[in-house]
Amino acid sequence: MKSDREAMSQERKAGLLRRTSSSKKTLKEKVVLMYDEIFTKDDPAKSNPRFWDELFLMKVNLEYLEGKLESLDGDEVMVKENINSLFHHCVLALEDEHQIKVVNALQTLCALFRGVYQKNKSATGFDIINMLVGFDKAELRMKNLMESLDSLLCGDGSESLKSLCLKLLLCLVTVTDNISQNTILEYVMINSIFEAILQILSDVSSRAQHGYDAVVLLALLVNYRKYESVNPYIVKLSIVDDEATLDGMGMVVHQALTEYNRQYKDKEEENHGGFFSTLTNMVGSMFIADADEKLSVQTNEAILLALYEAVHLNRNFITVLAQSHPEIDMAATPVSTTPTTPTTPLGTTPPSLDMMHNPELPLDPNLQTSNLLITFLKYSSIVMQDTKDEHRLNSARLCLIILTCIAEDQYADAFLHDDNMNFRVNLHRMPMRHRKKAADKNIPSRPLVCAVMDLMVEFIVTHMMKEFPMDLYMRCVQIIHKLICYQKKCRIRLHYTWRELWSALINLVKFLLSNETTLLAKHNIFYLALQVVNLFNMFITYGDTFLPTPSSYDELYYEIVRMHQVFDNLYCMALRVSTNVGQWKEPASKVTHALVNVRAIVNHFNPKIESYAAVNHISQLSEDQVLEVVRSNYDTLTLKLQDGLDQFERYSEQPKETGFFKELVRSISLNVRKNVSLNTLSQDVLLKEFSSIS
């Protein structure tokens, strides 16, 4: 079957109308003949004044045109003129009343962009512009093109046309691997289509059909020469304050992430299904070589990037995160009827379900209330499970960066800690040998910040591996730090089982110590250790401002005393390194200084506990007994106040993250380019649609 399809596409590429019985005689499509004509004659319109009219009435043969453009050689000047002329007429045709012409012109433009870029891969951006449009006319032509696209996108015209416009733009934006080298985008910067994108997002029906493409396009445009010049899309995105638009954007992201979560859950259930499904899986996997890959659902960095840009650039977007609506369960709802939308043009376009503007929410008692943040947290929990894969690692990193931005935003912090907004967030947890999968039902309904904390603890516990994701750990600990700073500042006493966090952090230190040599070769583990110790210092010296109960303060001491060996070892190691001359001298000595209070606690209480045991003749003290000792011996303990514990470095994309984002955008561009397919839009559908219009 596959080969069949390949053969078919081969034919199309060759411009064959149909495969004749023995290929003796090949009939060429008229449009193909016309293409040939464009590139052979000076001006095809000379012999046939209606040439261009006719051309755009013909069904486009994308494959042939693209192939033709790639294989063109001969007189540079003549080729350039021909291409310029074709481009010019495409742009002219966009303004035609006849919608078929517009459709064909859009598709032809797409082929033009692709073909010309493919052919001139090594050429500079300016050469390509010259080749496509011609330098002298470029500004005007591109202006006309963008204006046409803008009016098509904003007009009341056909949805298919809008879809095609977006596809063309995506095609144009992703035509180079590195978006910043795509010089032709300068014209897209000058002639902004930002407003058109916003309009699509703000309108319910258009968002349902084009929202995904619009959001991805926006995310990519924002990343054009982000660090080098003033990108108008960045500026504009950062000041959007129209709620409907922002909500719409959030909705698109929410749906895409929900869809991913659902797919993952389905896969998981499939895997853990009954005997029969296991059997079929086994049988199935015998035939499918890359069964492993099939099991992991492709992550969607494009949508995640859009979420990041929205959260990072636009301060109003934060409210959208908390906008609650019922969880959309795609499986339960019939696929809505969107006749003109091609099926999943970019891989994961979710069906058009728009809860927000439904006047009534569906009446399903099992429907959990959700919001974008919850969906995002769930998504993150899935993505973070397995960071071995490059894509997954990038996704996990981006998730943590987004969470960092959220943790820094005070409005977000306010609703994260809102005691009245309680949710059950079922995070995905990696199945591990030494622990059972927690029953979903048992998760209590808590403020959202608890879910964030849980996610961080979960990450800390599950990623102590050889390929140590140092960078992710740093972000993770910093997110916790930022949240605690907010709690301290606002005196929010979160009823959270802090113990889990403490023991996770101590275990992390333990892991760092036991893998000191391998880790030190690659990472500055002292930096991470310092962050962890300072988190403890926050609890020790500022615990009175944010701990929920006095006994939780006792428990902190209990935990430190119980695990004192780890802190002792850390101190020894840091001291040893700091006395040696080397690159880690300074960071190591910082850790020794930071440990002063922890060591004071250990040194203060250990003898007390021992003497208590001795006096009472108990070999092993119970937790209550230790707590009793702790409680009765606070007053003789003196702590040293440390500076700057509640201060943190604000997230900034530049310069630290620029490399990451450049790579990320590159991989997204490749992926989008691969998936933008204009052929999914069947001509029949279009014709049907237009026959009623024109």
Partner 1 sequence: MGDTELELSPSHLEELQKSPSASSTSTTSSLSLPSSPSSGRHPFTSSSPSASEGLPASSPPLDVISEGVGELSLVIDTEVAKKACQEVLQKVKFLKSDGETTPASFKPVLVNGTAHNDSREGESGELNKPSKIGEEEPPPGSVKSARRRQKNNSSKQSWLLRLFESKLFDISMAISYLYNSKEPGVQAYIGNRLFSFRNEDVDFYLPQLLNMYIHMDEDVGDAIKPYVVHRCRQSINFSLQCAWLLGAYSSDMHISTQRHSRGTKLRKLILSDELKPASQRVRREILQPPAPCPPPLHHAPGLNEHGLSPSKRTHQRSKSDATVSISLSSNLKRTASNPKVESSQDEDMSSSSDSLELEAGTPVRLTPQREFIKSLMGIGKRLATLPTKEQKTQRLISELSLLNHKLPARVWLPTAAFDHHVVRVPHTQAVVLNSKDKAPYLIYVEVLECENFETSSVPVRIPETRIRSTRSVENLPDCGITPDQRASSFSTVPNYDNDDEAWSVDDIGELQVELPEIHTNSCDNISQFSVDSITSQESKEPIFIAAGDIRRRLSEQLAQTPTTFKKDPEDPSAVALKEPWQEKVRRIREASPYGHLPNWRLLSVIVKCGDDLRQELLAFQVLKQLQSIWEQERVPLWIKPYKILVISSDSGMIEPVVNAVSIHQVKKQSQLSLLDYFLQEHGNYTTEAFLTAQRNFVQSCAGYCLICYLLQVKDRHNGNILLDSEGHIIHIDFGFILSSSPRNLGFETSAFKLTNEFVDVMGGQDGDMFNYYKMLMLQGLIAARKHMEKVIQIVEIMQQGSQLPCFHGSSTIRNLKERFHMSLTEEQLQVLVEQMVDGSMRSITTKLYDGFQYLTNGIM
- Contacts to partner 1 from residues 422-441, by CB under 8 A: 422-423
Using CA atoms, how far apart are residues 186 and 193, in angstroms rounded to an integer? 12
Largest CA distance in the chain: 113
SS3 299: coil
The amino acid occupying position 390 is: E
The amino acid occupying position 174 is: T
In this structure, are residues 496 and 549 in contact, taking their beta carbons and an 8 Å threshold?
no
Is the CB of 343 or the CB of 638 nearer to partner 1? Answer: 638
Binding mask 475-494 for partner 1 (x = CB under 8 A): ----------xx-xxxx-x-
Q: Establish if 667 lies at the interface with partner 1 (CB under 8 A).
A: no
Stretch touching partner 1 by CB under 8 A, among 100-108, 214-222, 416-424, 575-583: 416-424
Q: Establish if 550 lies at the interface with partner 1 (CB under 8 A).
A: yes
- Considering only residues 443 to 462 of the shown chain, the ones binding partner 1 according to CB under 8 A are 444-445
The residues facing 324 across adjacent strands are: 371
Choose which of 293, 544, 610, 663 interacts with partner 1 (CB under 8 A).
544
Choose which of 368, 518, 565, 611 interacts with partner 1 (CB under 8 A).
368
Is the CB of 156 or the CB of 649 nearer to partner 1? Answer: 649
Q: Establish if 603 lies at the interface with partner 1 (CB under 8 A).
A: no
Q: Establish if 541 lies at the interface with partner 1 (CB under 8 A).
A: yes
CB of 58: closest distance to partner 1 in angstroms?
Answer: 42
Choose which of 85, 183, 323, 667 interacts with partner 1 (CB under 8 A).
323
Using CA atoms, how far apart are residues 412 and 403, in angstroms rounded to an integer? 10
CB of 243: closest distance to partner 1 in angstroms?
Answer: 5
Q: Establish if 661 lies at the interface with partner 1 (CB under 8 A).
A: no
Q: Establish if 353 lies at the interface with partner 1 (CB under 8 A).
A: no
Q: Establish if 655 lies at the interface with partner 1 (CB under 8 A).
A: no
Measuring CA to CA, which residue among 667, 677, 651 is closest to residue 223? 667
Q: Establish if 195 lies at the interface with partner 1 (CB under 8 A).
A: no
Concatenating the DSSP letter of every residue in 212-226 gives: HHHHHHHHHHHTTTT
**Any idea which residue has 């919001």 for tokens?**
371
CB of 629: closest distance to partner 1 in angstroms?
Answer: 13
CB of 21: closest distance to partner 1 in angstroms?
Answer: 60
CB of 363: closest distance to partner 1 in angstroms?
Answer: 6
CB atoms within 10 A of CB 221: 25
CA 602 to chain CA centroid, nearest Å: 44
In this structure, are residues 213 and 356 in contact, taking their beta carbons and an 8 Å threshold?
no
For the record, the structure tokens of 507 come out as 């275990």
Choose which of 262, 325, 428, 463 interacts with partner 1 (CB under 8 A).
325
Q: Establish if 470 lies at the interface with partner 1 (CB under 8 A).
A: no
CB of 413: closest distance to partner 1 in angstroms?
Answer: 7
CA 149 to chain CA centroid, nearest Å: 27
CB of 200: closest distance to partner 1 in angstroms?
Answer: 15
The amino acid occupying position 158 is: S
Q: Establish if 421 lies at the interface with partner 1 (CB under 8 A).
A: yes
Choose which of 649, 655, 684, 694 interacts with partner 1 (CB under 8 A).
649
Is the CB of 337 or the CB of 636 nearer to partner 1? Answer: 636
Q: Establish if 334 lies at the interface with partner 1 (CB under 8 A).
A: no
Q: Which are the contacts of 293, defined by CB distance < 8 A and separation ≥ 6?
A: none
For the record, the structure tokens of 218 come out as 């926006």
Concatenating the DSSP letter of every residue in 397-415 gives: HHHHHHHHHHHH-HHHHHH
Element (H, E) at 371: strand 369-371
Characterize 430-464 residue by residue with b for buried, 16 or more Cβ atoms within 10 angstroms of its Cβ, and e for exposed: beeeeeeeeeeeebeebbbbbbbbbbbbbbbbbbb
Stretch touching partner 1 by CB under 8 A, among 55-63, 143-151, 428-436, 644-652: 644-652
Is the CB of 21 or the CB of 636 nearer to partner 1? Answer: 636
Q: Which are the contacts of 621, defined by CB distance < 8 A and separation ≥ 6?
A: 609, 612, 613, 629
Choose which of 122, 517, 647, 694 interacts with partner 1 (CB under 8 A).
647
Stretch touching partner 1 by CB under 8 A, among 142-150, 417-425, 528-536, 565-573: 417-425
Choose which of 95, 147, 159, 418 interacts with partner 1 (CB under 8 A).
418
Q: Establish if 646 lies at the interface with partner 1 (CB under 8 A).
A: yes
Contacts 24+ apart (CB under 8 A), 509-513: 509/533, 509/566, 509/567, 509/570, 510/566, 511/464, 512/570, 513/566, 513/569, 513/570, 513/573
Choose which of 43, 243, 586, 623 interacts with partner 1 (CB under 8 A).
243
The amino acid occupying position 474 is: M
In this structure, are residues 153 and 203 in contact, taking their beta carbons and an 8 Å threshold?
no
Binding residues for partner 1, rule CB under 8 A, total 71
Q: Which are the contacts of 206, defined by CB distance < 8 A and separation ≥ 6?
A: 159, 162, 199, 200
Q: Establish if 363 lies at the interface with partner 1 (CB under 8 A).
A: yes
Q: Establish if 416 lies at the interface with partner 1 (CB under 8 A).
A: no
Choose which of 60, 164, 253, 318 interacts with partner 1 (CB under 8 A).
318
In this structure, are residues 242 and 202 in contact, taking their beta carbons and an 8 Å threshold?
yes
Measuring CA to CA, which residue among 435, 484, 437 is closest to residue 456? 484
Choose which of 72, 443, 613, 637 interacts with partner 1 (CB under 8 A).
637
For the record, the structure tokens of 65 come out as 């045109």
Choose which of 78, 79, 639, 685 interacts with partner 1 (CB under 8 A).
639
